[in-house]
Amino acid sequence: MAEKWRSHWVRKRKRHKLRANTTPWHERPQCKATTTRGTRCRDRVAWSIEWDRAVSDCCQRHGGLSTGPRTQEGKARIAIAARRIRVVDDIADIAPGMDAATARSWGTAIAVLAIGGTYDEAAEAAGIAVDVLDGWMADPAFDTVARRAVERVGRNAAHTAKYGATRKKREPWKRRKRARDAVDRLNAAVEAGKQYRK
């Protein structure tokens, strides 16, 4: 028990010294999140005492300490969500009169199809029946937006396959693996395009 408390106070004294040498709270950047009232959050961004720098653009109440998805399922969901945002922007250009709920459903289904998902997976993600998805396929606007999404996925995959890693420096074997994965995604996107072009 004595060793436990001794190590506790050692850690606490170390943290206190670090805190004394960090940037004061009032000099740290302001949180960039927006409150429910529409005003900007007045708290400061999440701050690392050890590194004396911001670890996010938001405070801890607005996700500043979030690590993001770590599992493969979580990363897949966030990838679909990110693509859905871009697809919804395309829908706003092509079908400006569409309501927001339908646009989100379209965006989810197209995002799943664009990355090589099946009809059943797209319908399940969008919360609709496969028959409804078949009806959407006949809409020229849906076909136009879906073509754009597939072409965008294909361009991104081809760029990654050609140039390897992004800004981060990675080992050669990681770059080769990313290139192989990008080619697989490109093939999946092409197959998805063939499915809904039939």
* The pLDDT value given to residue 107: 87
**Rounded Cα distance, 78 and 68, in Å:** 9
* The pLDDT value given to residue 124: 87
* The pLDDT value given to residue 31: 93
* The pLDDT value given to residue 171: 53
**Rounded Cα distance, 104 and 110, in Å:** 10
| Helix boundaries (H) for the chain | 2-20, 72-94, 100-114, 119-126, 130-137, 140-163, 172-197
* The pLDDT value given to residue 167: 47
* The pLDDT value given to residue 76: 77
pTM reported for the whole predicted model? 0.53
- In this structure, the chain runs to a length of 198
Q: Where are the domains of the chain?
A: 11-62, 72-197
**Ranges in the chain, pLDDT < 50:** 165, 167-169
- DSSP-assigned letter for residue 128: -
Q: Which helix (H) or strand (E) holds 164?
A: none
